[in-house]
Amino acid sequence: MQLQILKKHQLLLALAFIVAFLGSFINAEVILSDDFSSGTLTGWTSVDEGATSGPSIWGVTNLSGNMVAIQSSNIYSNHGSDIHIGSYLKRLSSSVQNYSVSLDVMSSDDDYNGIMFGYQNSSNYYRFSISNQFANRTLQKMVGGTFTTLASDAVAFTLNQWYNIKVTVIDSYIKVYVDNSLLFNVMDSTFSTLGSIGLYVSASQNGYFDNVLVQSVPEASSIALLLFGLAIFALHYKK
Ligand SMILES: [Ca+2]
Ligand SMILES: [Ca+2]
């Protein structure tokens, strides 16, 4: 009987170690958080691609006491086609494989705004964009300089309204959420690492961005291992 109690305590201790150890993997880790309250774009690099109405004008502005990033030129190329490039504000270079990118976006212009992620270089990345004029929300990948549409719908964003866009890339599944509602769920493993992210505009004079949050997401295998440990513990404890 005493031996049994001792064994239970040892098992509990072992479990505590397992939980503590795996906890470090289970917790999402913040890779980047920027609410632009610093008033600067330190750490960000602008990349202009649009041949018309450039250059870009990126900065930080105060909207009713909230500091946000703004792009205020109408820079664009290939308007209305799948390409619709313009300018982006780039950051990070990460080899993390499972991740989430969240940000708030708003525009007083009716053109393209969005987010680039899984960015390996200027010819290889994922891009989610929204357009009021062309009434669509589109997830694309650019591979070797050529865009392919992965998912699209026919909904226009509302001018001057903040939207939260969240993208998760976990085990080759790309999920796009708008205001916490799942919009797209696509399987694609072309770009397996986070790479860089980009705050994206095309012909969007006064595109606003805020609350950029990039996190690593725990791998399913870590969670499975923890559940396995818990199951073993439960079985022993039941005896
Ligand atoms: Ca802010
Ligand atoms: Ca415009």
How remote is the CA of residue 74 from the centroid of ligand 2, in Å? 5
Residue 222, pLDDT score: 66
pLDDT in tens, 8-17: 777 777 676 6
Residue 14: give the domain boundaries.
1-27+221-239
Same domain, residue pair 41 and 4: no
Q: Where are the beta strands (DSSP E) in the chain?
A: 29-34, 45-48, 58-63, 66-71, 87-94, 99-107, 112-121, 124-131, 136-143, 146-153, 163-170, 173-178, 181-187, 195-202, 207-216
Widest pairwise Cα distance in the chain: 82
Give the number of the ligand closest to the Cα of residue 33: 1
How remote is the CA of residue 68 from the centroid of ligand 1, in Å? 5
Helix (H, G, I), strand (E, B) or coil at 25: helix
Would the pLDDT of 18 be above 70? no
Same domain, residue pair 81 and 8: no
- Residues near ion ligand 1 (CB < 5 Å) are 35-36, 66-67, 210
Contact at 8 Å (CB) between 106 and 164? Answer: no
- For the segment 133-142, the average pLDDT, to the nearest whole number, is 97
- For the segment 171-182, the average pLDDT, to the nearest whole number, is 97
Same domain, residue pair 37 and 147: yes
Same domain, residue pair 166 and 225: no
Split into its structural domains, the chain has a count of: 2
Same domain, residue pair 83 and 10: no
């969005």: which residue's tokens? 114
CA–CA distance, 39 with 22 (Å, rounded to integer): 38
Same domain, residue pair 128 and 36: yes
